[in-house]
Structure 1
């Protein structure tokens, strides 16, 4: 009994406590060595004349400023990627490990994503929609050129809109493993990458979004759980199927009455987009996602972005810094989305 108590109860507890302490020490070191704290120290040093008279404070500030920050991960021009729908599950030990510890894939930010976001920002200035605030989200998805409305989101919150369009984008891009994907145009690349990045934010860093973080996480988990239940055992790899039939299979599975409303709306939206033609649909989705990521960029959650900078930075944090320097500090609707829908 003594042997079991020591080796199976006490030692794992000590190991867990040590890991927690090490994680906290690492976060403190990240914060102290970050560029953020260096700028803050310089500002305080300039503002307080007494600091400039103290040799001790000068030495401490000098040590912080000279620190190389080797523990700090600089932003590697990568964006997190996550998805509610896993259309091609890979049954390997690494894939299982990634699922168990909730790791998300990171990919280098494509130039198409940067061009789409900057293009949306430039368009907002040219049309006069941006004037100190980003324009309120129109809650519609429309075709580019003729402004035909494809879908109206009503009173849904930002996270719900993201997940509905993420599901539609994923279904529209579904390809059989045996089929060659189409040429990766800028619209397809921008829409797919920003879509998966927004899903990644909802799942892992909802505090950077304009909604309640816990509600966003619970919504993502509920939708993900329902998607797995709907798709389990229905992953088709028949090479004879056309892309249209392949997508139709997923639309039928996710449109079932018992599924979550977000799943059903995402499937219906995918069906409507497919009817418009892929080229037109991808152009509309690329415009939608670039406007969406700009809409969520303004934030007053400075602590959340500081933590993001300490762990290497996030794309949305860079956009937050960019729009803040441009004088964009809020949204023209000046409201925080209310999460009132049951998950």
Structure 2
């Protein structure tokens, strides 16, 4: 791990924090600035949609400008700037603007590290190293759980967000100093995003990528707090603990799934098995939405653990991408992964509001989790027709 890679991982810790912190802040934001569950669902969805849309220019920038400037400039302007706006928020609209800016800032950091891996490391260890980076970076999920709850209770949420803005700016400066661009691919070979979309094998992989991360990100980043609060009357401390448990499960899953393609000699069946179990766990929440808070937290943790096949999916897709299009290839995959989350975040707020009409909280959440489960299982059906490749 070079110093540049270490700071890219730290930047990804921030990215994971920013995509999940609204779940813990939701009670205080509702009281102080009138941001309800639907407002936060919209703001969270905007983060993911902007993040996904940025993958197209980020992919071009990685291939043509390199990861150093791409990651440092965007994180400084978008990440630190968005956190500052969040600290000054006076209403739900401020939160939406802040989350869009933060989405811009976080958009290049993971793909910058994956670009360096793809250019400078052997293809056979890509999934393993990608899983290590994702798992280590997912400590941001932990920071956005119980530690964030403690900070908010001790310092207040505005002071906490000003502190995050300062930390983000410092890490952006470190990226500018320490990240080193790898040697560029042969520039005589031309290509574009359209050339990638002409590769039939990628479409089956893009289908599973589209649904893979959405349930875990949606539950951990948005729905875990209102679900536990409405169904089990959990306060911020218990919500923080539950978020911590699910975050730890997601980290463990990234470390466990990363090397499994080399252990079993297959990427396709590792990905398929993990997503099937994650989908069935969502259906378990549909079948038993109440009755035991501990059981519900355990099942949500299972959604996070078995859904952590993201680095293996990236490795599977990358194996079909030519070297001169690596930047655009990994960001295209990420666009589908994060775009799926964004669309589900947007849809989940209005869908939940409609499900809540004439239903108890447990019944409404049950149907929402059931939709998450069906979405993953449909993605698995499409992915079943993909071509396995481990090179």
Say which structure is richer in helix. 2
TM-score by structure 2 length? 0.26
